[in-house]
Amino acid sequence: MLPAAGGGTRMGLARPKQYLPLRGRSLIEWSLAPFLESEWIDGVVVVLARNDAEFSRLPIARHPKIVTTIGGAARAESVLAGLEAVAQRTSAFGEVYALVHDAARPCVAWNDIEKLCDEAADEHGGLLALPVSDTLKKARKGKVAGTVDREFVWRAQTPQLFRVDLLVQALRECDERGLAVTDEAGAMERAGYKPRLVRGSESNIKVTYPEDLRLAEFWLAQQESSP
Ligand code: CTP
Ligand code: MG
């Protein structure tokens, strides 16, 4: 499932970043590609903003695996809407897993997705992530207020893999308690689960600022020359 209902405010352009051109396609088409190509994935729900005018014009919009639905103001709302669409389309609700992947991560490698599915398909689920390499400082008013032990800090990426029923329940609970979560693992943690950290790749960047587009282009070119 791809949440793609964000407006891309940090990008500073009128057009949402998922539709920006990148090596001959739109960014979201790159993000979707590995999921559409895999025989292990039955369907892909793409969550769109209510006023989205671009997705339906893409060549992949009529791909038989794709269904679209409308998201909300926060990412967690969009993910919940997407999961509800997944649940509606599956019969064996209890044992269905969903991979949630940011539409803004066009360089994810299938190998990493496969590794995540191999290592994290249980009730705790898991996510691609990377250990932090810089020394981390806590800040207070522009001054150092302490050093964070790097050994315990990883950067969360997507996809994140969870059982659909458990993730829906966890996200609903957060919503009811007014807890803001920025990723699916955050909701699962609050529900008492311990999602597995599966080591991903540096290339799986989230396009957030304008300079990230050049970096995404670089990684896609690398992947093309050494598939
Ligand atoms: N997303 C979503 N619904 C929202 C907010 C975000 O589906 N209400 C999606 C985005 O489309 C993106 C992913 O979640 O694919 C990660 O979010 P982010 O990188 O923050 O994208 P935006 O919210 O679009 O960007 P910004 O925060 O700069 O506005
Ligand atoms: Mg955002």
Residue among 205, 202, 200, 31 nearest 119 (CA): 200
Q: How far apart are CA 227 and CA 222, in angstroms?
A: 8
Tell whether ligand 1 has an atom less than 6 A from the beta carbon of residue 47: yes
List pLDDT tens digits, range 133-160.
999 999 999 999 999 998 889 999 999 9
User: For residue range 175-199, what is the model confidence (pLDDT) as tens digits?
Assistant: 999 999 999 999 999 999 999 999 9
Cα 196 to averaged position of ligand 2 atoms, centre (Å): 24
Q: If we measure between CA atoms, which residue out of 62, 64, 54 comes closest to residue 4? A: 54
Please give the number of the atom of ligand 1 that sits closest to the Cα of 72: 8
Asked whether the beta carbons of 4 and 105 are under 8 A apart, the reply is no
Is the shortest distance between the CB of 103 and ligand 1 below 6 Å?
Answer: yes
Query: Which atom of ligand 1 is closest in space to residue 206's alpha carbon?
Result: 19
| CATH code linked to domain 2-225 | 3.90.550.10
Residue-wise pLDDT tens digits, 11-33: 999 999 999 999 999 999 999 99
Nearest CA to ligand 1 atom 10: 6
| Ligand 1 binding pocket includes 104 (Cβ within 6 Å) | yes
